[in-house]
Structure 1
Amino acid sequence: MYPYGTPTVVPAQNFDPVKDAHALRKAMKGFGTDEDALIAIICHRTNEQRQEIQRQYKTHFGKDLIEDIQSETSGNFEKLLVGLLTPIVDFYCNELCDAMKGIGTDEDVLIEILCTLSNSEIHTIKKQYLRMYGAHLESELKSETSGNFKRLLVSLCTAHRDESGHVDQAAAANDARELLKAGELRVGTDESMFNMVLCQRNYQQLKLILNEYESITGHSLEKAIKREFSGDIQEGLLAICKCVTNKAEYFASRLHKSMAGLGTNDRQLIRVIITRSEIDMKDIKVTFEKMYGKSLKSWIKGDTSGDYKHALYALIGEQRSSS
């Protein structure tokens, strides 16, 4: 049923958007807010179902559900609920726009989104970005980034990756040799060859190329990329390799990074959980525990609190603990 992974948020059975809209209104009327009721509904419906609830909420009460949530909640709990109620394409557009706004660019966000989505998803985001902000995503990327990293993002933004799933062993061996010549066998690196291969070949073919590279050199292409590149371009190329070999591992490392060290990067934590909960969050959880020796739930427990924590538990398919 789920060809790409196992989600933790699935369509609610016997879904009744009118009943949900009334329950949400009741949870926010009068003194105090019933946060548990908000979590029980918003965190246990798919994005599509949440959009239907919002339409019914507006129809029945003449009020905007997101605005009501914003006036009744605060902090990261509010950000999480608003993110969940935002259509997923708009959510991605907001994240991309905010990553490029103001002084400095959050390259990590650009990599996480553009290196992991399919052609059709990127095309949809580009159209919506233009509608929402009156600007072309590609132009914004060009003005906010530079050098090899800019070229990588522009290549990804064109969304011309082969998605046929067709594999060719001889072509894979040839590409592996070309990558070796463009990197480790020369002084300086011909980054255009890495760009071309990693942004155009389909994932199944890339798997073959990675295997071929390792059998020719005795080490992984990822190791070669770490040696030949640095900074954002290195991170971008590694993200593509990781998505080819194990996408759940890539997102598990993103979750870990959001909570490791001093302070929590809540924006990153929220984004990964919102965007993966309907795709492969179960796989990410299992991978997270294998990689870091502790469950994702225990990390969330240590780094978050209150209603925000309980909402995250619900989205990753975990029961609320008594503490």
Structure 2
Amino acid sequence: MANYSKKPTVYPASYFNASEDAEMLRAAMKGLGTDEDIIINILTTKSNAQRQEIAKYFSEVLERDLVEDLKGELGGHFEEVVTGLCLEPNVYLCRHLNKSMEGMGTEDLTLIEILCSRNANEIQELVETYENLYGRPLAEHMCSETSGDLRRLLTLIVTGARDKSNEMDRSRAREQAEELYASGEGKLGTEESVFGKILAHENYDQLQAIFDEYKDVSGNTIEQALKHELDGDYLEALLAIVESVQSTPNYFAKRLHEAMSGMGTDDATLIRIIINRSEIDLGNIKEEFERIYDKTLSSYLCQGETTGNYKKALLALIN
């Protein structure tokens, strides 16, 4: 993945006492009414590992399930944020993967965002977590819900086809760039499988070298070539890989903007990215968002359709 100094927005609390926080959360949910401010203040200012300790205290000492208690007291998108914070990161993402494939139709963009923006080791962790949670391989479930070039690409990703090393071979990158050009811009018609094969197999350092060489070979960027030769969800998936290689924060900044633009808000995507990236690089994503759109992520969020405690919780994570 593109090398950059990662800036989280949520850090482990310097003073932390799981029993104190758990008892305060329980008190905030007992009796008539719920103190949402206490819930927000406790859960958005702790790391995920610290939240797991609070949940463990709930289970072992209070003999209650923290997530179920929160679900019983809260509702709507605010509940989604708060309960999402209480799940381990890979469990949280696997639940989104599963939900995107359940029922009628498949949310391909969710699959693409989660699977095409992560390196080989992160994918391996997701694959293991998914099978533990659902008792079936992620690749098997995904193959039954997707088709064509997108299915082939995502299958390569989740079955661990990507090189796990950081080795980069410039001369081979030149050859691969020429192969991509010959499969697309350099001929009549497009060999879609060649793009998927290279972008799903090579490590991120090699891919960056290929993209640099491609511009020299073609005169166009790899993004321009992909948009010219392909379309649909397969194009979205390949672009997600390219953008994640070049700048992961840039990719997620664009996804957040898409989630908040147009008619209505894609709340599931908005919540998922903010929760998942808060302890990784949400600070970098904020910087990219402001650079691209000349507006802070917080101000854009406030002018949209998020309101009340839902907005308050997201802003606490962002800031």
Shorter-chain TM range is over 0.9
Matched letter for residue 207 of structure 2 = L
- CA–CA distance in 2 between the matches of 1:253 and 1:305? 22
Which SS does the other structure have where 2:61 is aligned?
Answer: helix
Which residue of the partner structure matches residue 307 of structure 1?
309
1:25 lines up with 2:26 in the alignment = yes
Matched letter for residue 112 of structure 2 = I
1:154-233 alignment runs, 5 A limit: 154-233=155-234
1:146 lines up with 2:154 in the alignment = no
Q: Answer with 186-195 or 239-248: which moved more.
A: 186-195
Contact residue 115 and residue 236 of structure 1 kept, 8 A: yes
Contact residue 4 and residue 279 of structure 1 kept, 8 A: no
Deviations 1:56-84 (A, max 9, x none): 12222111111111111111100111111
Which SS does the other structure have where 1:299 is aligned?
Answer: helix
- CA–CA distance in 2 between the matches of 1:4 and 1:237? 25
Which residue of the partner structure matches residue 79 of structure 2?
78
Deviations 1:9-54 (A, max 9, x none): 1111122111111111111122211111111111111111111110
Which SS does the other structure have where 1:6 is aligned?
Answer: coil
Which SS does the other structure have where 1:269 is aligned?
Answer: helix
- CA–CA distance in 2 between the matches of 1:13 and 1:196? 46
1:271 lines up with 2:280 in the alignment = no
Deviation at 1:208, TM superposition (A): 1.1
Which residue of the partner structure matches residue 58 of structure 1?
59
Deviation at 1:120, TM superposition (A): 2.4
Which SS does the other structure have where 2:164 is aligned?
Answer: coil
Which residue of the partner structure matches residue 42 of structure 2?
41
Which residue of the partner structure matches residue 243 of structure 1?
244
- CA–CA distance in 2 between the matches of 1:92 and 1:276? 11
1:99 lines up with 2:100 in the alignment = yes
Deviation at 1:224, TM superposition (A): 0.5
- CA–CA distance in 1 between the matches of 2:118 and 2:11? 20
- CA–CA distance in 1 between the matches of 2:4 and 2:73? 38
| Cα RMSD, aligned residues only | 1.3
Which residue of the partner structure matches residue 321 of structure 1?
none
Misfit runs of 4+, over 3 Å: none
Which SS does the other structure have where 2:92 is aligned?
Answer: helix
After superposition, the Cα gap between the structure-2 partners of 1:151 and 1:96, relative to the gap in structure 1 and judged at 3 Å, is: same
TM-score, normalising length: structure 1: 0.95
Deviation at 1:4, TM superposition (A): 4.9
Deviations 1:186-228 (A, max 9, x none): 2221122211211111111111111111012111011000011
Q: Which runs of 5+ in 1 are unaligned?
A: 318-323
Deviation at 1:3, TM superposition (A): 6.2
- CA–CA distance in 2 between the matches of 1:146 and 1:299? 36
- CA–CA distance in 2 between the matches of 1:6 and 1:131? 31
Deviations 1:127-182 (A, max 9, x none): 22222222211111111111111101101111232232222211111110011011
- CA–CA distance in 2 between the matches of 1:310 and 1:282? 18
- CA–CA distance in 2 between the matches of 1:139 and 1:30? 46
Percent identical pairs in the alignment equals: 44
- CA–CA distance in 2 between the matches of 1:159 and 1:35? 42
Which residue of the partner structure matches residue 320 of structure 1?
none
Matched letter for residue 237 of structure 1 = L
- CA–CA distance in 1 between the matches of 2:76 and 2:118? 29
Which residue of the partner structure matches residue 253 of structure 1?
254
1:291 lines up with 2:292 in the alignment = yes
- CA–CA distance in 2 between the matches of 1:4 and 1:104? 38
Q: Answer with 182-191 or 224-233: which moved more.
A: 182-191
Which residue of the partner structure matches residue 133 of structure 1?
134
- CA–CA distance in 1 between the matches of 2:287 and 2:38? 28
Matched letter for residue 148 of structure 2 = G
